[in-house]
Amino acid sequence: MALAPTDDAATLRISYQTDGLLPAADVADMLREVAMAFERFARRRARSAGLRLAVRRVEVGSLLADLVVMGAVAGHAAIEHREVLYGFTRLIADTLSILKGVKPGKPKVADARMIDALQRPVAEAGAQQVNVFIVGDGNSVTIDGEAIRQIQSHREQTSGHTAQPGDGPRGSLDLDIPAQAQPRLPTLQGKFGTVFDVRGQWYVRLEGEEGVLNPVQLEDGITVQDGAAYQLDGVWEGRRYRIRGARSL
């Protein structure tokens, strides 16, 4: 699919300030999480469903990645692309504020995972900070050492234990499990959800179901990770969903 013309395309820039090298795996993970988070955000708007991010350029040294929107929309594409990027940038800023404890609420697990991927080169690879902004706009979302300390402190307060390496948004999981499992959807055909291992039993929190955890059984050959988001296929059988397909997001 062709990209929007480069002369008027809105550009989301992710810039790491660093004097050293950043692990390629961390950078790849960051780009993957940002791209998937953008697609989830775009799906919430009827006009922008199907839009994706594409890499226009990457510079090394102090690492810089320019991302543009690709995909057709009704109306003026350049205006819609810019509007959805502004909304996505606000989502990043709001999620960061919630994780730092300066804004009330609880972020989606997948959105918190995106923030973790963005901050990892700062927390673990020695970058001074990362800035996320739309080129030509004066507003920037910045994650530096102080922001990471605030995130860790807030997680300790909300989870009731000292943060350990690998701790993430899983610690703030609310166990809203219905006493009598009655699904809202009899089948899952491409439905998005986050899976959790709760005391040895798998559950799924489906998008749009206000945090309710539904029990699931994985068919042979289906493997998932605790706290990860998937596009799911399955059917309700008895008192749980039988998951027949799980595509990682």
Examine residue 97 and state whether it is found in any structural domain, yes or no.
yes
- Residue after which a domain boundary falls, among 147, 172, 197: 172
Examine residue 177 and state whether it is found in any structural domain, yes or no.
no
Examine residue 1 and state whether it is found in any structural domain, yes or no.
no
Measuring CA to CA, how many Å separate 14 from each of 4, 80, 81, 201, 247?
19, 21, 17, 38, 27
Phi/psi region, residue 95 (left: phi>0; alpha: psi -120 to 50; beta: rest), is: alpha
Half-sphere exposure of 101 (CA within 13 A, CB side): 15
- pLDDT at residue 225, as a whole number: 87
Examine residue 180 and state whether it is found in any structural domain, yes or no.
no
Examine residue 139 and state whether it is found in any structural domain, yes or no.
yes
Residues 112 and 162 in one domain: yes
145-160, pLDDT tens digit by residue?
A: 999 999 998 888 876 5
**CATH number of the structural domain spanning residue 214:** 2.40.50.140
- pLDDT at residue 49, as a whole number: 80
Residues 121 and 192 in one domain: no
- pLDDT at residue 165, as a whole number: 38
- pLDDT at residue 136, as a whole number: 84
205-226, pLDDT tens digit by residue?
A: 887 766 678 889 999 889 888 8
Number of separate domains in the chain: 2
Confidence of residue 47 (pLDDT cuts 50, 70, 90): confident
Question: How far is the C-alpha of 216 from the C-alpha of 237, rounded, in Å?
Answer: 9
- pLDDT at residue 191, as a whole number: 85
Indicate whether 2 pLDDT > 50. Answer: no
Question: How far is the C-alpha of 11 from the C-alpha of 54, rounded, in Å?
Answer: 10
Residues 214 and 151 in one domain: no
Indicate whether 85 pLDDT > 60. Answer: yes
Q: Which residues pair with 129 in a beta bridge?
A: 17, 144
Residues 193 and 146 in one domain: no
pTM of the model: 0.58
Examine residue 123 and state whether it is found in any structural domain, yes or no.
yes
Residues 36 and 154 in one domain: yes
- Residue after which a domain boundary falls, among 172, 197, 221: 172
pLDDT, average across residues 87-116:
91
Give the lowest-confidence range in 92-101, 141-150, 193-202: 193-202
Examine residue 218 and state whether it is found in any structural domain, yes or no.
yes
Examine residue 161 and state whether it is found in any structural domain, yes or no.
yes
DSSP per-residue string spanning the chain: -PBPPTTT--EEEEEEE-SS---HHHHHHHHHHHHHHHHHHHHTSGGGTT-EEEEEEEETTTTEEEEEEES--SS-HHHHHHHHHHHHHHHHHHHHHHHHTSS-S---HHHHHHHHHHHHHHHHH--SEEEEEETT-S-EEEEEHHHHHHHHHHHHHHHTS---TT--GGGG---B--SS---S-SEEEEEEEEEEEETTEEEEEETTSTTBEEEEEEPTT----TT-EEEEEEEEETTEEEEEEEEE-
Tell me the torsion sign for CA atoms 91, 121, 230, 55. positive
Residues 142 and 206 in one domain: no
- pLDDT at residue 30, as a whole number: 93
Which domain covers residue 104, as residue numbers? 11-172
Residues 117 and 29 in one domain: yes
